[in-house]
Structure 1
Amino acid sequence: MGTTPQSTGAVRESVTLSTGEEVSVPLSTEATVFGAMFSANRAAVAELLPDGLEPIRATPQRAAVTFLAVEYHRIGDHAMAPYDEFSVMLPAVESGERSWPFASLLRNGASGYVWYLPVTTESAKALGVDIWGYPKAVAEITHDDHVAGRRTTVTADGEEVITLDVEGTPKVDRTQESVSYTVKDGQLLREPLTLSGKLGAWPYSGQVDVSLGSHPRADRLRELDLGSRALARLSFEGEFVIGAGERVGSV
């Protein structure tokens, strides 16, 4: 592990993964994303969060769950082959931070704890696990682009986990900063995220369909009592940068 300077003069950390690839952090990637956010039972979401985090109040009584179907086109300086990913994220705030219905959804909806993160290659799994502690697992992910958007199906251990069909949204050029949370070696980490490119969001949308399969992860998602109508559908195309994990507190 060493350091290399960026063209901007900042310093990046070079990391050799357990699979042999070498990447630099902050890590720059190019990706296409389709996603949707649903309301969920607040107590059930809280049970899935590590100590140090609390679910946002999407509504006075409900929390939220975000699904993101991601197709990576470039990883760093082409450090590894492109791969696909599906994120199940629980929008959250750090303990002690106030969470307000609706307002917290707008402010913190793009930030949260990554609860499940299937990917399509062993290198992709090592990238997330070795550096940040993301809960990555190798699975089969298929994207079916259609005239309105994208349908994504995740299959793990021979069982369907989830299928998400999202209609695309109007997009504008924008830079969005947020954070993700993970637990690595018993430590809660906060990772700064920056999305720069064409970004779109559409509130309270019916142009989303989600179905859960027979996998145990799907059973756990059913326990969250997802809302029947999406709070928002999301789309993005551009550069996605993730920084080094920062310590938040012990768990």
Structure 2
Amino acid sequence: MDSPTGGRSRVTLSTGHEISLPLDLSFAIGGAVVPARRRRLETLLPADLSAVAIAPGVGCVVLAGIHYHRVGGSSDDTDSRAVDADTGLEPYDEFAVIIPAVRGGRTTLPVTQLVGTELGGYVHWLPVTTEPSVALGREIWGYPKERAAISVTPGPHGTHTAVDGSDGRWVRLEVSRPRTRITTMRRDWSLWSYTTLHGQLIRTRARLRGELSVGLPRDTTLELDPELQAELGCWNRPLVQLSGSRVRARLFDGEPCAVP
């Protein structure tokens, strides 16, 4: 997975860590997609984005626990937790709250909304376990990272995530290995994320390799802090579960979004 220009740039964080862009990552993930009140989601998004509608008045939120095996450094597939002195960070755990969204007008019809638009996900909350990872996300991409007590534990039967935020928000998410696989997303699959950096809407591309399975959430369980649930306007009954034990990604530098 080469960068479009074939080159790499180096960035020094406020913590003194130096990383190379695009950033190479390896991780395990266990997540779920839950329905949410679309009107509530609209209040959480920048003006240029509109929450994806999955039914009239209903949008969705992605909740995912991520356990990083490697953050920068060498591009091999080992699970070494050693820090690369030049371009790597110590691996960490992360919990992502992402609102699937499109750029453009706030159309209410689900099918019409996706025609001729760019689908991505707005990163609403992204607690992590280390200070360097906070600097990494905030300074380069504007990801809303903050340090919190998080445990993401992948195992042979699934992934358990526990989040206890400094502001009292908490999450418990148990994602089992899928019994029935709807699809498996393989190499060279691109995702877009949206953030706000210095008042500007930024979009960032990630290219994935490895297997990311999407399945029916028969054994997936979710418990949300009532205040967080009200903030998102979501239900705690997953529609779909996401899982992958070894996913590799290349995260590119962000780019400002032109007004559509």
Is TM-score (shorter-chain normalized) higher than 0.5? Answer: yes
**1:202 matched residue in structure 2:** 215
User: What is the alpha-carbon distance in structure 1 between the residues aligned to residue 185 and residue 61 of structure 2?
Assistant: 25
- The amino acid across from 1:245 in the alignment is G
What secondary structure, in the 3-state scheme, does the structure 2 residue paired with 1:67 have?
strand
**1:219 matched residue in structure 2:** 227
User: What is the alpha-carbon distance in structure 2 between the residues aligned to residue 42 and residue 188 of structure 1?
Assistant: 20
Query: Any gaps of 5 or more consecutive residues in structure 2?
Result: 74-83
Give the structure-2-normalised TM-score: 0.82
What secondary structure, in the 3-state scheme, does the structure 2 residue paired with 1:11 have?
coil
What secondary structure, in the 3-state scheme, does the structure 1 residue paired with 2:32 have?
strand
Deviations 1:201-243 (A, max 9, x none): 014x232211123xxxx51432433235322100122211111
User: What is the alpha-carbon distance in structure 2 between the residues aligned to residue 244 and residue 198 of structure 1?
Assistant: 24
User: What is the alpha-carbon distance in structure 2 between the residues aligned to residue 103 and residue 166 of structure 1?
Assistant: 32
CA contact (8 A) 1:168 1:234 kept: no
Q: Is 1:152 equivalent to 2:164 in the alignment? A: no
User: What is the alpha-carbon distance in structure 2 between the residues aligned to residue 109 and residue 65 of structure 1?
Assistant: 17
Q: Is 1:184 equivalent to 2:193 in the alignment? A: no
Segment drifting more, 88-97 vs 123-132: 88-97
Q: Is 1:40 equivalent to 2:36 in the alignment? A: yes
User: Superposition pairs for residues 1-251 of structure 1, below 5 Å?
Assistant: 10-77=6-73, 78=84, 79-96=88-105, 101=110, 111-145=120-154, 147-157=156-166, 159-169=168-178, 170=181, 172=184, 174-175=186-187, 176-203=189-216, 205-213=217-225, 219-236=227-244, 237-249=246-258
1:12 Cα deviation after fit: 1.5
CA contact (8 A) 2:36 2:234 kept: yes
Segment drifting more, 72-81 vs 39-48: 72-81
1:158 Cα deviation after fit: 7.2
CA contact (8 A) 2:128 2:148 kept: yes
Deviations 1:151-207 (A, max 9, x none): 21111227351111111235747122110000000000000111110110014x232
CA contact (8 A) 2:101 2:119 kept: no
Query: Any gaps of 5 or more consecutive residues in structure 1?
Result: 1-5
- The amino acid across from 1:31 in the alignment is F
- The amino acid across from 1:202 in the alignment is G
RMSD between superposed Cα atoms in Å: 2.7
**2:76 matched residue in structure 1:** none
| 1:158 to 1:188, Cα distance in 2 relative to 1, 3 A | closer
CA contact (8 A) 2:30 2:159 kept: yes
User: What is the alpha-carbon distance in structure 2 between the residues aligned to residue 188 and residue 60 of structure 1?
Assistant: 27
User: What is the alpha-carbon distance in structure 2 between the residues aligned to residue 179 and residue 69 of structure 1?
Assistant: 18
CA contact (8 A) 1:91 1:109 kept: no
User: What is the alpha-carbon distance in structure 1 between the residues aligned to residue 152 and residue 39 of structure 2?
Assistant: 32
- The amino acid across from 1:209 in the alignment is T
1:249 Cα deviation after fit: 4.2
Give the structure-1-normalised TM-score: 0.85
Deviations 1:4-58 (A, max 9, x none): xx79971122100111111111111111111000110001000001121000012
User: What is the alpha-carbon distance in structure 1 between the residues aligned to residue 51 and residue 42 of structure 2?
Assistant: 6
User: What is the alpha-carbon distance in structure 1 between the residues aligned to residue 19 and residue 207 of structure 2?
Assistant: 18
| 1:210 to 1:173, Cα distance in 2 relative to 1, 3 A | closer
Segment drifting more, 49-58 vs 240-249: 240-249
What secondary structure, in the 3-state scheme, does the structure 1 residue paired with 2:89 have?
coil
User: What is the alpha-carbon distance in structure 2 between the residues aligned to residue 25 and residue 60 of structure 1?
Assistant: 40
Segment drifting more, 14-23 vs 152-161: 152-161
CA contact (8 A) 2:3 2:22 kept: no
- The amino acid across from 1:44 in the alignment is R
| 1:147 to 1:17, Cα distance in 2 relative to 1, 3 A | same
Deviations 1:70-115 (A, max 9, x none): 001111114111100000000000123867537979x999831000
- The amino acid across from 1:212 in the alignment is L
